[in-house]
Structure 1
Amino acid sequence: MSIEKLAKDFTQAVAENDAQTYQSYWSDEIVSLEPQQDSPMARVEGREALLQKHAWWEANAEVHDAKTEGPYVFGDQFAVNYEMDVTMDGERSQMKEVGVYTVRDGKIAEERFFYGS
């Protein structure tokens, strides 16, 4: 599968909140990186750890609306823009972030998130 097709299919699955499909694109050794270095979620390694990270998000975030834009492919990477209307810890906010995904051997080996202000 080309990276263009993988990126398009992954992004569509995320937009449709189809966890089974988008998770099928993860490498078993996937690394997930967040910019908050003081957070236990700053670096998560492996499929099982990333599933736990997603379970934490589902338990702690009420997503009212979410939008994706992209993917934008370059070489072995692609980026997706995300916008979310979310309530966490009783506080509702608008979030913007960019996810940059690195593909190796036909699977997503790394995801790295950048937050907007």
Structure 2
Amino acid sequence: MARADLSAMLGRLEETPAPPPTATEPAPPVSPSAPPAPEPASSPAKEQPTQAGYKAFERKETRLRGDQYSDLTEQARRLNRVKRTGTPRITENTLIRVAIDLLLQQRETLRGDTEDEIRKSVGL
């Protein structure tokens, strides 16, 4: 059986690519079914994501000390052992987000030029 020519099946593609959008033209949407970007929250209370899971969060990498990572893992495991069935899994990232919320509640007291000074400014 002869191989089908892919370009014949798809039709002739444009030889020259379309020019990129200029600064005055808005970029086309990524996907017609993509939800609009969320509006920035005007209050300090943040809405918790629903069943969308980890994809509802922004990605941010961080470096942790070995003791921090192992303690986070142990605490996540401990909380998962005693949590109700059917609730979302608790991960190290869950605990990091809670810690960030706790830190941001004390934003007015944050002071210092080094990590140790900042830690002391919030009572650690």
Q: TM-score, normalised by structure 1?
A: 0.31
Q: TM-score, normalised by structure 2?
A: 0.30
Which entry has the higher C-alpha Rg, 1 or 2?
2
Relative contact order (alpha carbons < 8 A, sep ≥ 6): 1 or 2 greater? 1
Greater fraction helix: 2
Greater fraction strand: 1
